[in-house]
Amino acid sequence: MSEKISSHIIGLGYYAPENIIDNSYFSQFMDTSDQWIQERTGIQERRFVNKGQGPSDIAIPAVKIALKNANLSVNDIDFIIFSTSTPDYYIPGSGCLIQEKMNFPNIGALDIRCACTGFIYALSIADQYIKTKTYKNVLVISSEVQSTSMDLSNNGRDTAVIFADGAAAAILTANFDGEGILSTHLHTQGKYAKELWVESPSSAMSPKLDKNIIKSGKHFLKMNGREVFKHAVKRFPEVILEALNHNKLNIKDIDLLIPHQANIRISKMVQKKLELNDNQVFSNIHKYGNTTSASIPIALCEAINQKQLSKGDILVLAGFGSGFSWGSAILKW
């Protein structure tokens, strides 16, 4: 009889840049208020990088902690998956940069750009490599520097107050006791690509970037907040139920749901739709804002630090974001 392999997280780490930005910071650039931001988003403060730091830089402390927790060294890692929608450069990927900066051996490094669903996509890829016995230890990194894509004028006030910087890392390895990832479910709907996007610099434009593009603000992140909200509150419950059904589990089986920290109102609506209690849903958006693909693993690290997960618990992770893309992962902790 062949042994059943699953992929389990054996080490986690996160890094929140030291630069704490509270809501009052934005009032010097745009018409906004602490009250508006807290009421509409739940965010009280967030972290921004120091000038010159990219996602590969802020990922380093997160990876170091994850390696320490897993009791592994860089030489034990077989493959890197780097999830970011804000890469250091267009070319090459941030995975190559961290391979060099942390002296990993010449292993493969794959960048993925699945926005706020990136960590779920990355887990699903790691899971396939581990289950097929291609790699033993896979490092997943989610790291984002959104602060440099924000329009700090009134035109950008709906995004600038929401998106923030942060990094997290997870190390996955083969498990033979039925623990770890039970399933992943992934979706996209490119019809809505332009509802949350950065239009430029773009390879479809010639020149990629010029004064006019910068003047028109096409290099800033743009969001149709109402459209994003409408789809998010539909897709989160849908993809969570899809995952539960696949595993023959019920809502009451969820010990902890960690949704992508998009907006507290979205999370509250999802909680209400699924009739989950407050202890079943994790939230830390008030401290970090929306850190795109880093938000789920940062929240997972904090949930563990706060002892909200015990061995054998059913953990549900769910993401939604630009693309639109959405997905879920269920793990037996």
Which residues bind to ligand COA, rule: CB under 6 A? Answer: 32, 36-37, 40-41, 116, 157-158, 161-162, 223, 225-226, 228-229, 262-263, 266, 290, 321
Active site residue 116: yes
**Residue 11's beta-bridge partner residues?**
171
CB of 131 to ligand COA, least distance (A): 29
Q: For residues 32 and 86, which CB has a smaller minimum distance to ligand COA in the complex?
A: 32
CB of 297 to ligand COA, least distance (A): 15
CB of 255 to ligand COA, least distance (A): 25
Supply 311's token pair: 């061995």
Tokens 């974001």 found at: 321
For residues 97 and 162, what is the distance between their CA atoms, to the nearest angstrom? 27
Active site residue 260: yes
Which position among 137, 263, 284, 290 bears the catalytic label?
Answer: 290
CB of 133 to ligand COA, least distance (A): 35
Q: For residues 116 and 274, which CB has a smaller minimum distance to ligand COA in the complex?
A: 116
Q: Are 6 and 180 in contact (CB under 8 A)?
A: yes
For residues 272 and 281, what is the distance between their CA atoms, to the nearest angstrom? 11
Which position among 96, 114, 116, 301 bears the catalytic label?
Answer: 116
Q: For residues 40 and 101, which CB has a smaller minimum distance to ligand COA in the complex?
A: 40
CB-count exposure of residue 289 (10 Å: 0-12, 13-18, 19+) = buried
Q: Are 14 and 47 in contact (CB under 8 A)?
A: no
Which position among 8, 185, 231, 260 bears the catalytic label?
Answer: 260
CB of 42 to ligand COA, least distance (A): 9
For residues 310 and 331, what is the distance between their CA atoms, to the nearest angstrom? 12
Supply 96's token pair: 């190559």
- What's CA 59's distance to the chain center, in Å? 13
Q: For residues 153 and 305, which CB has a smaller minimum distance to ligand COA in the complex?
A: 153
Q: For residues 66 and 258, which CB has a smaller minimum distance to ligand COA in the complex?
A: 258
Helix axes 225-246 and 264-274, enclosed angle (nearest 10):
40
Active site residue 290: yes
Bridge-based pairing state of the strands 19-22 and 79-83: unpaired
Q: Provide the annotated active-site residues.
A: 116, 260, 290
